[in-house]
Chains A and B, each alone.
Chain A
Amino acid sequence: MDGLLNALVVLANFALVPGIAYGSQLALGALGVTLVFGVLRFSNFAHGETMSFGAMIAIFVTWILQANGVSIDPLPTALLALPVAILVTVGVVLLTDRFVYRFYRHKRSDQVIFIIVSIGVMFVMAGLIRFLIGPNDQIFTDGERFLISARDFRDLTGLREGLAIKTTQVITVVAAVVCCVLLFLFLTRTRTGKSMRAYADNEDLATLSGIDAGRVVLIAWTLSATLAVIAGTLYGLDKSYKPFVFQEILLPIFAAAIVGGLGSPVGAIVGGYLIAFAEVLLTYAYKRFLGHMLPDAWMPDGLAQLLGTEYKFAVAFVILVITLLIRPAGIFNRRSG
């Protein structure tokens, strides 16, 4: 019995807990991508940089708060900075829409043009971020680091394996759940949310029925930017903030959004967790897990690892390719690709 418990704890510590936190981060990011795609019908490659920008503003505000002695110990101060960061980032995103995307929308430009424009916006934002905060690592986590540390867990339970749960992991998961619930209530219960879904389903019909297209676009950008700031700040809190990383994380986020079905909020969440767990579980070395379950004689010699961790990103892309081959519109998309 002890063996089984130890095995479960070791799996939870190294695969399940990090997987859930990583999945939540991807899901929040993918939700923002999918909202913009649903309403504006293009893949917004600048989303990663929007996350980075929001996190950067949150860091600046956190520094100001810390300098003035404001803290909400044991929670990280950055949570207090979130509303300001959201306001600033939404402002920047709306200005970008006003001066960049609107021009192409009025010209009714092709989807491909929009994608290229968003890549341009991505580079401008990336430059701006490096200009403002620099390319280096910034650590802005404060407050209690662990909900329970590996050593405390061992002392508490008497098991041989430890389970560490970081405060930031819990905050990430809670924030992801709250965001998802609020978003679904908004989309299904409010008039504005319904008009957004109508617009996403059929742009012309919705406009003919008197839905204000400009307002829908405005709200889609606002929601997407808000989600981006929350995702970016949580990611920065949980790992550390480094501008370069947000270009890297764009890939699994898009994989999550596409696997779930671009334009589908449920799909974005499922896709996020699917990609995260596939990456973590396929590259996990099960040697220690099996060590607690099996008698010594049955132990495998190697690490019992399916794929080396260097193939982590490949996993996301293999899933992406399989999805595009078998079900191009994604798991949860009603429209065909």
Chain B
Amino acid sequence: MKTSMMALIGAAALAAATPALADDAKIGVLLGFTGPLESLAPDIASGAELAISEVSESGKLLDGTTVTAVRGDSTCIDAGAATAAAERLITSDGVAGIVGAMCSGATTAALQNAALPNGVVMISPSATSPALSTVEDNGLFFRTAPSDARQGEIIADMLTERGIKEVALTYTNNDYGKGLADAIAGAVEKAGGTITINAPHEDGKGDYSAEVAALAAAGGEMLVVAGYLDQGGKGIIQASLDSGAFDTFLLPDGMVGEALVDAIGPDLDGSFGVMPGTDSNGAEIFAKLIEAAGSKPGVYAPEAYDAAALIMLAMQAAGSTDPAEYKTKIMDVANAPGEEIMPGDLAKALEILAGGGDVDYVGASSVELIGPGESAGNFREIEIKDGKIETVQYR
């Protein structure tokens, strides 16, 4: 009697944990709503939720399955919190796929401790650590953001083109910062340049004069700050300008944002940087759509839209919301051959797939998945002129 009761309870728990199949599918939006990048998270979430509501309202996914987004807070630096949030999304909310996580450290933790054991697909819109290219994932992990190895090469190109040979480099002391710094250092040295110092800094400090003193002692024509714009990265730039250590800065993706320009002011003029971006009209269409939805096209918001769209298109192609079945379809819908799909055309894509056709999802960020399921990457080179972020070119 007792054992059969136990079995019953176990079966009930299992049933509750399985994603609801026919009528309603849930997609987790696991982002760092609190923590060092909390200022970027809301825009990224709106990107993913825009795609989800577009598909849900069309009523064309798997014969009228509706899709709802469930938010979870991965933080950015707390692996325990990221794991707990992912675990909650999977076991309690029963999500069929996750858009996230946001930072590389949180993503690795959520993937290895929650998504992998439970067999749920994760597509990160913003985790860029090169380490994630080689992580064990059973074909469950993808990203619509490019690896930082690519960003490192682009930064090296930008320096070479500007004739800058010697730079100092500082990075935020976590997976993202270390990965990006190593990628930049490797690429710059391969291009014949010199990294005078490659030193970490901690986020959330009040005072960065000691860090800047060490960077200044090493010298260099400019300072590469692989950090966060509302954390230590800003403190380093402020302290460098105050002490006259460096005048110009190279800003990788975590550092480009209006908030930094507003905080530092005219002294930042002449600094340049790089952020994900594309000149394909997918980005423009997306910007119009997201503005109509009452949000704004922030950094990594297009990638989030694409991540959510890929999950749902793959579900349609596989004819199932079960991650084990649709995970193999993600690469198919993302790449050629097939009809090119722009943002806002998700209903059309669902129809084509339902009719047994093939799609090549381009989306808001010109998605092209390569190798272990990551974006090849499109970057926007920017320069700060008169307190404005201006586009120099697309790479």
Answer yes or no: do A and B interact.
yes
> How far, in whole Å, are A242 and B203 apart by their CA atoms in the complex?
12
Instruction: Please state if A280 and B209 are interface contacts (CB–CB under 8 Å).
Output: yes
With CB as the reference atom, state the residue of chain A lying closest to B34: A135
B201 within 8 A of partner (CB): yes
B206-226: CB near A (< 8 Å → 1, else 0) gives 110111111011110000000
Instruction: Please state if A245 and B244 are interface contacts (CB–CB under 8 Å).
Output: no
A235 within 8 A of partner (CB): yes
**Residue count of chain A within 8 Å CB distance of chain B:** 38
Among the listed B39, B201, B213, B238, which residue makes an inter-chain contact with A280, where contact means beta carbons less than 8 Å apart?
B213
Known A-B contacts A13-B243, A137-B230, A150-B243; the reply to A312 vs B210 at CB < 8 A is yes
**Which residues of chain B are within 8 angstroms of A245 by Cβ–Cβ distance?**
204-206
A288 within 8 A of partner (CB): yes
> How far, in whole Å, are A58 and B210 apart by their CA atoms in the complex?
27
**Residue count of chain B within 8 Å CB distance of chain A:** 30
A310 within 8 A of partner (CB): yes
> How far, in whole Å, are A310 and B214 apart by their CA atoms in the complex?
11
**Which residues of chain A are within 8 angstroms of B244 by Cβ–Cβ distance?**
13, 149-151, 162, 164
Among the listed B39, B209, B219, B242, which residue makes an inter-chain contact with A288, where contact means beta carbons less than 8 Å apart?
B219
B202 within 8 A of partner (CB): yes
Known A-B contacts A14-B243, A162-B244, A245-B205; the reply to A309 vs B218 at CB < 8 A is no
A244 within 8 A of partner (CB): yes
**Which residues of chain A are within 8 angstroms of B243 by Cβ–Cβ distance?**
13-14, 18, 150, 164
The B-contacting residues of A in range 237-284, CB under 8 angstroms, are: 239-240, 242, 244-245, 248-249, 279-280, 283-284
**Which residues of chain A are within 8 angstroms of B214 by Cβ–Cβ distance?**
283-285, 303, 305, 308-309
> How far, in whole Å, are A164 and B245 apart by their CA atoms in the complex?
10
**Residue with the highest number of chain A CB atoms closer than 10 Å, among B205, B206, B243, B245:** B206
Among the listed B173, B199, B213, which residue makes an inter-chain contact with A284, where contact means beta carbons less than 8 Å apart?
B213
Instruction: Please state if B245 and A14 are interface contacts (CB–CB under 8 Å).
Output: yes
B197 within 8 A of partner (CB): yes
Closest approach, in angstroms, between the C-beta of A70 and any C-beta of chain B?
A: 22
**Residue with the highest number of chain A CB atoms closer than 10 Å, among B197, B212, B214, B217:** B217
Closest approach, in angstroms, between the C-beta of B58 and any C-beta of chain A?
A: 38
Known A-B contacts A13-B244, A287-B218, A303-B217; the reply to A18 vs B209 at CB < 8 A is yes
B200 within 8 A of partner (CB): yes
> How far, in whole Å, are A244 and B243 apart by their CA atoms in the complex?
24
**Which residues of chain A are within 8 angstroms of B242 by Cβ–Cβ distance?**
164, 166
A136 within 8 A of partner (CB): yes
**Which residues of chain A are within 8 angstroms of B7 by Cβ–Cβ distance?**
none
**Which residues of chain B are within 8 angstroms of A166 by Cβ–Cβ distance?**
242
> How far, in whole Å, are A286 and B217 apart by their CA atoms in the complex?
7
> How far, in whole Å, are A303 and B197 apart by their CA atoms in the complex?
8
With CB as the reference atom, state the residue of chain A lying closest to B196: A303
Instruction: Please state if A22 and B209 are interface contacts (CB–CB under 8 Å).
Output: yes
The B-contacting residues of A in range 127-166, CB under 8 angstroms, are: 136-137, 139, 149-151, 162, 164, 166
**Which residues of chain A are within 8 angstroms of B130 by Cβ–Cβ distance?**
none
Instruction: Please state if B230 and A136 are interface contacts (CB–CB under 8 Å).
Output: yes
Known A-B contacts A303-B197, A310-B202; the reply to A283 vs B210 at CB < 8 A is yes
> How far, in whole Å, are A172 and B170 apart by their CA atoms in the complex?
28
- Given A14-B216, A15-B213, A283-B213, 11 other A-B contacts at CB below 8 A? A18-B207, A139-B263, A151-B244, A164-B242, A164-B243, A166-B242, A235-B206, A240-B235, A245-B205, A303-B197, A309-B199
Q: Give 19 CB contacts A-B under 8 Å.
A: A14-B212, A15-B213, A136-B230, A137-B230, A139-B263, A164-B242, A166-B242, A235-B206, A242-B204, A245-B204, A245-B205, A248-B205, A249-B206, A285-B218, A289-B217, A303-B214, A304-B217, A305-B217, A310-B201
